[in-house]
Structure 1
């Protein structure tokens, strides 16, 4: 299976990407307009295609010097386990060129990211719009 990576943000269907996040699953249904804003405001972004089909994506915020944070790494379920998530992570990590890269991951996926050198942080904290829901999903203590 040939997978190609692209950073061309202008060729993306935001509805298709929002649907990918829902199917991956990467949480609740997302508004395509907000998905577009998030990706356009990210310094780094990458999209994985099988032919013309969008099968994966990821993005990172960065100051370009010291810190970057990776978000929204997702692959369609039928394409998971084929190395596409690894391609996305490697692209984002290699492109970041900073001292420290943090990662926001779905609970239960830590082992996948540990293969790339990511380790759990003892000092990360978050403010969320719905603490009960975040606690239920295992995002906060």
Structure 2
């Protein structure tokens, strides 16, 4: 049975899921800090097997980001990613103050834009909005 568990901040699960989708390896301490500093962590299980994760980071007032939306390969294309992102969107709606709006942002992998557009996200740049930008800080 597929279920979503909130605030399971297990660094070993996080690192394992990242590895299974071929993402950059993180230092364990760095990964634990990322989990600890997340607003909310959602872990997807198939019975007792962790199969996905998504994190919300931000200020809980004006802006939130969906970070590390992961579904392991053998569970992709089974609508589990859609279930997870809709769960995250509902959470962010629930923390948005009445009479205000929260900007929910994400950076998606190349070629995944259509998935996110199906869930109400817009790809930038648009005629009104410039592109998103990043900078890597190395130590």
- Provide the TM-score with structure 2 as the length reference: 0.81
Alignment check: 8 A CA contact 1:42 1:59 kept: yes
C-alpha deviations, 1:57-94, integer Å up to 9, x for none?
00011222221111100011111111111121111111
- Write out per-residue CA displacement over residues 80-113 of structure 1, whole angstroms, 9 at most, x where no aligned residue: 1111111211111111134211012122111111
Matches within 5 A, 1:62-101: 62-97=58-93, 98=96, 99-101=102-104
Distance 2:71 2:77 in 1: 9
Give the total of aligned pairs: 126
Aligned to 2:14: 17
- Give the Cα–Cα distance (whole angstroms) in 1 for the partners of residues 27 and 82 of structure 2: 26
What corresponds to 1:138 in structure 2?
Answer: none
Question: How far 1:129 sits from its partner (Å)?
Answer: 4.1
Aligned residue among 95, 119, 136 for 1:128? 136
Structure 1 unmatched runs, 5+: 131-141
TM-score normalised per structure 1: 0.80
Which runs of 5 or more residues in structure 2 are unaligned? 97-101
Residue pair 1:20, 1:74 contacting (<8 A) in 2 also: yes
RMSD: 1.7
2:41/2:56 contact within 8 Å kept: yes
Alignment of 1:30-45 (within 5 A): 30-45=26-41
